[in-house]
Chain A
C-alpha cells in the first residue's frame, strides 16, 4: 500500500505542543467513541453526561470513584519504580494478592493483637509479602539474567491460584455452610474512615509525594534511573547493580502489596481471590501514560478512575452492555497512546502522485 505521507523523526517537542497533541487525541477519542455509541443506537451526549454523573453525581458515587483511584494510584506508583529501571514488572496482580494474603493472615490468625498494632502490622506484612513476591524474579534477573516479563506474569497466576486454594480449602469459613468464602476480618483489622471514605486516600497522597521525592531527590532513585538507561554506565560508575535491581523491585512489589492490604481491609473486609480486580494490569497503562512521573501518575489514575466508575454506572443507568464501556475505554487508550507517535515523528503530506513515483522503480 502506498501512503501519501512522509514520516520523519522529530528532535524535540515543546511542552505546549505536547499538551495540544494530548487535547486533540482525547477529543478524537471522544468523537470516535461517540460514533460507536451511535452505532449501538445510543445518544453519545447522554452517555458522556451519564459517565460524568456516575463519577461525580452524588457523594456516594464520588466515593466509589475514589475507591477505584486509591488502589490504581498506589499500584501505579509501584510499577513506576520498576519501569524507571526498565524492569518490566507486570506482576502487580500477584504482588497485590500476596500482600492481601499476608495482611489477612495477620488479621485472621492474630486476633488478639491490640487495636493500635493490628493495622500497622497488616500493612507491614503486606509490604513484605508483595516485596518478596517481586524479589523472586528480581533475584533471578540480577544473578542469572532471566526475562522478567514472563517471570512476573507467571508469578501472578501462582499467587491468584494460591489464594483461590485458601478460599476453597484450608481458610474456608466453616460457618458459611459450604459456601467458599473466608471469614470476615475482626473490626480492629478494618481501615477506618477519614473525611467520608476509607483512609486509603491519605495513603495514596502520601505515597505519591514519597515516591516523587524518592525518584527525584535520593541517591537510590538516581541509581535506579541510571540502571534503567544503561547497565554499562551503571557498572562504569561503580554501582552495585544486583543490589539496585533487588531494592527497586522490593519497593515496587511492596507498594503493590500494600494495595492488597487496602483492598482486603477496607473494601472486601476479608481475602477473596478476585480482590486484585485487574488493578495490577491497569496500573501498567496508567504508569505508561503518566510517562513515569509520580505526580502525573496521581492525576492519570484519578482520570482513569472516573472512567472506570462512569463505565460501571452507565451499565446500571442506561442498561448499556459492559462491552460498550470497554470499547470507549479502548478507544481512549488507543488515541492517547497513539498520540505518542505524533510527538516522536513528524508526518508530512506529500500527495499520492509523488508517493507513487517514489515507490515505483
Chain B
C-alpha cells in the first residue's frame, strides 16, 4: 500500500545512487530529496542522467549502489509494479494508452480488482478524483478522439487512480502548445495543494522558473546542487547545467537580396491511415532565409520534408526548385538532375546515416552515385571526411570510427557537415538540435546562420518555440496537415504560434 503521508518525512529520499551502463556512468553518487507538497524540477541537459535517475525511482532500472526511501521507509524496486505499490506514478513522454478504448476503460485497465469491472463504481471514483484535482476528463470519450493535452490529463488521472501520491513527469511540456502548458501547470499546482509530491524532468529553464519550488541540477551524471527556485536566476542555472557561463540568445542576421528557390504549391499527401497527412500545402522558400516550421508533433512535418526530398509520394501539387517541378522525382532522379538539396532527417541513424559504418563510408553515401564504373573509390571521400571533421570540430577517435559510437552532437555534425559540404542551395533540417546539449545546439544554430549568409534557403522544422522565434526569419505553422499561418519571426509571439498550432479556429 501507499505510505501514509507525514509532512515532516520526505516523500522521496535517494541516497548515494549510482548507475552505469557498460563503461558509461549515467548516475554517480546522487542524493535527492523531494517533499510532499512541492514541485521539484530535475534540470539538466540531454544525457545528464535525469531519466536514468527517475527510471530507478519507478522500478524500471535498479541502482548499482545507493538506497531509496519512500515516505521514510526503504524501498527496493524489482519492477514498476513495486514502485506503483509505494505510491509512485510515472508519466512518460510517450503516452501509454489504448487508442480505441474510452478514458475509463484505460483507467480500469491493469489496475487492481476482481475479474469483473464495476463500471459504475469506477466512474464514480474517476469523477471524485477529477473534481478533487481539477482535471477535466469525460470518462466515455475514446482516446483517439482526444487532443494531446487531454491524453496527458488522462495519464495523470490514471496514476492518481492507482493511488499515486508521488508523480514523476518526464518532459511533460514537450508535446504541448503554450495554452496546454498553462493548463497543465494549473493541474500540477492543484495537486501540490492537495499534498502530492511532483517531480518534473525538464531542460526548459523558463518553465522551471515558472512552476517549480525547488530545483536539482544534474550534469554528466552528478547532482550539482539543489536550490530554492525563488533564490536563483536563470544565468546561474545555466552555469550549473552546462558548467560554464553562456549567452543563450540566438542570432538572427538580417537577410539581403532574397530570390525564390523553392515553391511548394498545393501539395496533398495521403498518410498511412488514409487521412491527409498534408492537405494542400503552399509556401515559398527564398535564398538567404531560414523558414521555421512549427506544429504539434505529427502535424505533417515529416511528410513535408520527405515529399520535398522525393521520399514520399504526393497525391496532388507541384514543387518547383528554381522553376523546375521536382514532385514525383525520386531521390535518385534528384541527384541525377544535379539539384543541390541537403536533407537532415529527423531519424539520423535510421535514415541519414548508417550507424555501423565509419565517417568515410557515410560520406560516400552521397558521393558514390556520381562515381563511374563498378569500383567504390574511398580516397576523395576520406579526404572530405577529414576536412569535415576539422571544420566542424567533430570529436572522434578517427574518421574510421563507426558513427554510432559518437555522441549525439557529433553524429549530427557528421550529417550536417556532409550535407553542407555538398554546397546545397536548399537545406531541409528536421529537428536538427533534438537530443543535443546546449553547446552543440548553439554550434548548429551558428552553422545554419553561416549557410544562410552564403545564400542557402533553409527549412527548419522545430519544436522549441523560443528557438523558432529567435532563429527564423519566417515561421510557417502547421496543424493537421494544413498551413494555419505564416508569421514574421521578428514579430511573432509564442501565444500566437501556439494558437495557430491548435488550428487557430478555436
Partner-B contacts on A (CB < 8 A): 8-12, 217-222, 225-226, 229-230, 232-233, 235-240, 346, 357-361
Contacts and interface: CB of A to CB of B under 8 A. Distances in A.
A346 B365 CA distance: 34
16 contacts: A8-B21, A9-B22, A10-B22, A217-B376, A218-B376, A219-B368, A233-B350, A236-B309, A237-B331, A238-B330, A238-B334, A357-B76, A358-B62, A358-B78, A360-B78, A361-B85
B504 to A, nearest CB: 33
A222 B375 contact: no
Contacts of B366: 237
A8 B61 CA distance: 12
Contact of A230 (B351, B368, B374): B351
Nearest to A216: B376
Contacts of A235: 311, 331, 351
B294 to A, nearest CB: 24
Contact of B331 (A10, A222, A236): A236
Contacts of A9: 21-22
Contacts of B356: 229
Interface of B: 20-24, 62, 76-78, 82, 85, 309, 311, 330-335, 343, 345, 347, 349-357, 361, 364-366, 368-369, 371, 374-376, 405
Nearest to A218: B374
A236 B343 contact: yes
Nearest to B64: A6
The 8 closest A-B CB pairs, nearest first, are A238-B332, A238-B331, A232-B351, A229-B354, A237-B365, A11-B22, A238-B335, A219-B376
Contacts of A357: 76
B76 A232 contact: no
Nearest to B373: A219
A233 B374 CA distance: 21
Nearest to A358: B62
A361 B331 contact: no
B15 to A, nearest CB: 16
A218 B332 CA distance: 19
B332 A240 contact: yes
A232 B346 CA distance: 12
B74 to A, nearest CB: 11
A94 B368 CA distance: 35
B232 to A, nearest CB: 36
A193 B347 CA distance: 56
Contacts of A346: 22
B278 to A, nearest CB: 19
A218 B373 CA distance: 9
Given A232-B350, A361-B76, A219 B371 contact: yes
A16 to B, nearest CB: 17
Contacts of B343: 236
Nearest to B310: A238
Contacts of A11: 22-24, 405
B123 to A, nearest CB: 32
A229 B357 contact: yes
A12 B404 CA distance: 12
Contacts of B354: 225-226, 229-230, 233
A354 B353 CA distance: 42
Contact of B375 (A217, A233, A236, A237): A217
B412 to A, nearest CB: 15
A220 B374 contact: yes
A230 B330 CA distance: 17
Nearest to B309: A236
Contacts of B309: 236
Nearest to A9: B22
B22 A219 contact: no
Given A237-B331, A237-B369, A238-B331, 9 more contacts: A11-B23, A12-B405, A219-B375, A222-B368, A229-B357, A232-B345, A233-B352, A235-B331, A236-B331
A12 B366 CA distance: 28
B350 A230 contact: yes
B176 to A, nearest CB: 28
B193 to A, nearest CB: 32
A247 to B, nearest CB: 12
Among A217, A237, A358: residue with most chain B CB under 10 A: A237
Given A229-B357, A232-B351, A238 B369 contact: yes
A226 B347 CA distance: 16
B117 to A, nearest CB: 27
A292 B335 CA distance: 31
A233 B353 contact: yes
B20 A236 contact: no
Contacts of B353: 233
A230 to B, nearest CB: 6
Contacts of A240: 332
A361 B59 CA distance: 11
A229 B311 contact: no
Contacts of B375: 217-219
A361 B85 CA distance: 11
A312 B238 CA distance: 72
A239 B351 CA distance: 12
Contacts of B371: 219
A235 B333 CA distance: 12
Nearest to A357: B76
Contacts of B78: 358-361
A357 B63 CA distance: 12
Contacts of B351: 230, 232-233, 235-236
Contacts of B349: 230
Contacts of B347: 232
B345 A236 contact: yes
A235 B345 CA distance: 12
B365 A8 contact: no
Contact of A233 (B85, B334, B364, B365): B365
Contacts of A230: 349-351, 354
A239 B23 CA distance: 37
Among A220, A233, A240: residue with most chain B CB under 10 A: A233
A217 B368 CA distance: 12
Nearest to B79: A361
Contact of A222 (B20, B76, B85, B376): B376
A361 B82 contact: yes
B342 to A, nearest CB: 11
A232 B355 CA distance: 12
B22 A226 contact: no
A361 B349 CA distance: 39
Contact of B364 (A8, A10, A222, A360): A222
A229 B77 contact: no
B76 A358 contact: yes
B66 to A, nearest CB: 12
B296 to A, nearest CB: 23
Nearest to B23: A11
Contacts of A358: 62, 76, 78
Contacts of A229: 354-357
Given A219-B368, A221-B376, A225-B357, A236 B22 contact: no
A219 B372 CA distance: 10
A358 B79 CA distance: 10
B332 A8 contact: no
Contacts of A219: 368, 371, 374-376
Nearest to B366: A237
Nearest to B63: A358
B21 to A, nearest CB: 6
Nearest to B351: A232
B376 A8 contact: no
A237 B418 CA distance: 12
Contacts of B20: 8
Contacts of A8: 20-22
Nearest to A11: B22
Contacts of A359: 78
A26 B109 CA distance: 50
